[in-house]
Amino acid sequence: MSFERLELRARGGRAGGPAAISIGGPGAASGRPSVIVTLSPALAKEAGFTGKAMYSIYLGKDEDAGKLRIATDPKGIIIGRQAPRNTAMLFNLGYLPAIGRVRCRKQYTDAKVVEPGVVHIDIPDFPDAAETGDDEEENDAAPAEPARKRQSSATETLNGVTIDLSQDDESVTFRGKLVEVTTRQARLIRLLARPRPAPVAETFLLKNLWDGRAPNNAAEQLRMLCLDLQKALAPIGLDLDWVKGAGYQLRDQ
C-alpha cells in the first residue's frame, strides 16, 4: 500500500452512514473550508476507535489514490471526537485542497477496516479539488502560522483566557497558544476562567455544565473532564487543579 502521511489538526463533524466526508466551515488556523470526516458508530467500534485516542491521517498515492487512511497512532496529532448521541467518530482535517477547496454538503462513501485500528475511506469527488502538490505553498505555510483564531460571536475572553464555543470548532487560547477542546470542556473552562484564579465549587459546576439536568454520574464525568483538561491545557500554560474544600481552580502555570 502507498500512503503519504498528512500533518493535520482535527475537530468536529456529524454522524451518519458507513462514512461521510463534507467540506464545511473555516478551520481555526487558516480560515479556509475544513474537511470533515465522519465514521459510523459500527465502523468506529469495529476499528477500535475512541474519542480519547490520537490518530494520523494518510492520503493514498499510486494504486491507493482516491483513498484516505485513518490510523490510531500514539504519536499522531489528530484527536477524533465521539458524537454524544450516537458515538459516531468525527475528524476535522482542516483545509485539505487535495480533497476539496470549496464548501460542499456531506457525501456518503464506502469505508472499511483493513486491520485493527486502521480504516480506509473512499474519497468522493468534490468540486475544485487540487492535485496533490498544487497548493503546496499554501499547505506548507499554514502549520507555521501562530495558533490564532478568528473572533466570532461565540468567542469570549475572560481574564486573559479566550474560549471559542463555535459548534465543531471549540478551542481555548491563552497567551497566543491554542488548544482544541470538546463542547463541554469549553463550557467548563468558561466557568472556571471568569473568577480565576479563585476556585469554583463543584456543585456550581455540576449545575451549570448540564443546565440543571446533571446525570447521575455527573461528578465522575466532571472529574474525567478535569483530568483530560489538565493534560490538554499544560502546553498553553494553564493548570487546572482541585482545591480541597473549595472546588476546581484554573490558574497560570
Does residue 151 sit in helix, strand or coil?
coil
pLDDT tens column, 199-220: 999 999 988 888 777 788 888 8
Domain positions in the chain: 3-144, 155-252
pLDDT of 22 higher than 80: yes
Q: Which CATH class is domain 155-252?
A: mainly alpha
* Residue 192, pLDDT score: 94
Q: List the helix and strand counts (H, then E) for the chain.
A: 5, 17
Rounded Cα distance between 137 and 95, Å, is 13
Q: How would DSSP label each residue in 171-221?
A: EEEETTEEEE--HHHHHHHHHHHTTTTS-B-HHHHHHHHTTT---TTHHHH
* Residue 9, pLDDT score: 42
pLDDT tens column, 109-161: 999 999 999 999 999 888 766 654 444 333 333 333 334 444 555 788 998 99
Nearest to 69 by CA among 78, 88, 134, 127: 78
* Residue 10, pLDDT score: 38
The confidence band for 83, taking pLDDT boundaries of 50, 70 and 90, is low
Rounded Cα distance between 54 and 59, Å, is 17
Q: What is the mean pLDDT of the chain?
A: 79
CA atoms within 13 A on the CB side of 122: 9
pLDDT of 189 higher than 60: yes
